[in-house]
Amino acid sequence: MLLDFGAARDVPAHIAEGYRALLGAGLSGDNEGLLAAMTGIGILPPGAPATMRDTILDMARDGFAPLRMDGPFDFGAGGLASNLKDQSASLMAAREHFTAPPPDILFIQRKIAGMYLLAARLKARVDVAALVRPYMPGAGAVSSGNRQASTQPRATRAARRAGASSTDVSRDPAAGNTVA
């Protein structure tokens, strides 16, 4: 396994703000806000056909599932990475409408996708909301009562094949580190 910690670069302020808006909309479940933020930063092309828009919105909602629940999200159990991969393939099938996002957006999206894929491969259980919350002023706590079953994306073949073992990852806020 290779982790490339050297693949870092400055992100322009307007893109950082666009991702902050995207994160806020995703955390609050605001579909219109998600669409506006994704259009604003170039993930969703302006005038995209409804099927493309709906697929990208579904991907965003699935991607935000780990951030919208209380407690650890089991990346190895629910097929999240597999669902996102399948949805990406359906987008690529509609090549006539697909336009690649700007390079800065591709860079960020690859980092996000890489973390999801790594967490799935490790069958990690991560309290993602607790890790993100300190960086979202005014986000507050996620709504109580959200549990894995209600926020885990649709089951896939990968989810049915998934084993029972997983890796627990949590953050010790007092020490400021992540432990496995």
Write down the pLDDT at residue 99: 76
Write down the pLDDT at residue 26: 93
Q: Report d(CA 57, CA 63) in Å as an integer.
A: 10
Write down the pLDDT at residue 154: 41
Residue 65 burial by Cβ neighbours in a 10 Å radius (0-12, 13-18, 19+): buried
- Torsions phi, psi for 115 (to 5 deg): -65, -40
Q: Are 22 and 38 in contact (CB under 8 A)?
A: yes
Q: Report d(CA 47, CA 56) in Å as an integer.
A: 13
Write down the pLDDT at residue 57: 92
For the chain (180 residues), the mean pLDDT of every run of 10, in chain order, is 67 91 92 95 87 89 89 86 76 71 88 86 92 72 40 38 40 39
Write down the pLDDT at residue 163: 40
